[in-house]
Amino acid sequence: MRKNKEETENGYKQEQEQHKEAKEKIMELTSRLDTSKSSESELSTKLQAVTEELNKFQTKSQDLAEQLATLEQARASLDDSLRQSQTALGQKQQDLEQSKSDKDILEQTLKKEILDYRNHMLVSAVEEAESIIREALAQAENPHITTITCTAEYLMDRATPVLETISQLKHNIETYTQDPQAISEVVTSVSEFSHRLADVIVFGFATSHAAPIEEGDALSGECRTCGEGSLELLTDIKQASYDKVPSKADNIDQLVKRILSHAEALLPKVEDVKAEQMGDMVDQEMQQTTEAIAQAAEKIASMLAHNREKYTGIQLQVNEGILDSCNALMRAILKLVEKSKNLQREIVSQGRV
């Protein structure tokens, strides 16, 4: 019995322990179940939140996809515009290169035309100048001007400005070689040079007609040499041999100076006038002066008579005083003229003039 009791007690204890263990397991499982339920609720909440986020993401993804499609479309349009722009740019570049080429050709053509025009202007001016000089030289053989004469003084008056013209021509030619745009100054200088030198040649021939034979031949020879040298100078200019111009111009300058020297030698001297002629000239001048003084005296007397009729008192006295002074001055001048006349006659008679 005792043994059975012990076995029963032991069995009961074992059952108690098993029951306790089972209870603990049940409690553990219950706790786990509660925890699982709580986790499931949290997971459900999280799942719902994730689902909402996913929906938002999908919405954004759709928006981004639409935006991407729009951007792709815009990029395609830009690519197409870029290709068109590149094509147009290429065409523009070709047109620009063609325009530049045409411009260069046009510039070269215009430069050549301008150069040809300048050369034509200069050649025409030189040919006209040559014609003027040749015409002047031809007057030496013209029988119609052999009786025409000119004074040496007038020849000098016409020849002196030529020296400045020659200097200006040299300067303008030098400037033209450095700056072709100075063509107008060269044309002007050539024209002025030819006209002035032609005058010198013609008046030189005319002056030689009134000069002694030897001096006249020398003067006409210098004029002819000067004209021929001028033609050589103009030929060098026409042929663009500008390096020869200075020496040729200097030669013309010397020839003109020699013409001036000949003209100066032909100027009339005082001693060339005869004493009788000088005396007659003095008498004529003195007589004219005397007559002028007499006329002035008569006019003063007339004014005095008029004043006596028109004025009285102090005004008459003042006017008469002025007129009397004028009469006294006229008488003094007349005496001075008479003395000068006598003195001049003595000088002429002694041959001191």
Q: What is the pLDDT of residues 19-51, one digit of tens each?
A: 677 777 777 777 776 666 666 666 677 667 767
Question: What pLDDT was estimated at residue 82?
Answer: 87
Instruction: Look at residue 33 in the predicted model and tell me its pLDDT.
Output: 64
Q: Are the C-beta atoms of 155 and 207 separated by less than 8 Å?
A: yes
Least confident of 162-166, 239-243, 335-339: 335-339
- What is the pLDDT averaged over residues 185-189? 91
Average pLDDT over residues 154-176: 93
CA distance 74 to 78: 6
**Regarding predicted confidence, which is higher, 187 or 116?**
187
Q: What is the pLDDT of residue 345?
A: 61
Alpha helix stretches (DSSP H) within 213-312: 213-238, 245-265, 275-310
Higher pLDDT, residue 18 or 157: 157
- 8 Å CB contact between 213 and 149: no
Q: Report the pLDDT value the prediction gives residue 189, as an integer from 0 to 100.
A: 92
pLDDT score for 348: 55
Mean pLDDT of 133-162: 88
pLDDT at position 353 is 40
Look up residue 173 and give its DSSP letter: H
CA distance 323 to 299: 10
Neighbouring C-beta atoms of residue 129, cutoff 10 Å: 26
Q: What is the average pLDDT across 248-273? A: 84
Residue pLDDT, tens place only, 89-145: 888 888 888 888 888 888 887 777 777 777 888 888 899 999 999 999 998 888 877
The overall average pLDDT reported for the chain is 79
Q: What is the dihedral of CA 320, 324, 327, 329, to 10 degrees?
A: -130
**How confident is the model over 261-266, as a mean pLDDT?**
91
Q: Which residue has the higher pLDDT, 325 or 180?
A: 180
Which pLDDT value is given to residue 352? 41
For residues 85 and 305, the model is more confident at 85
DSSP 251: H
Tell me: pLDDT of 275 over 50.
no
Q: Tell me the mean pLDDT in the region 306-325.
A: 65
Q: For residue range 198-232, what is the model confidence (pLDDT) as tens digits?
A: 999 999 999 998 888 898 899 999 999 999 999 99
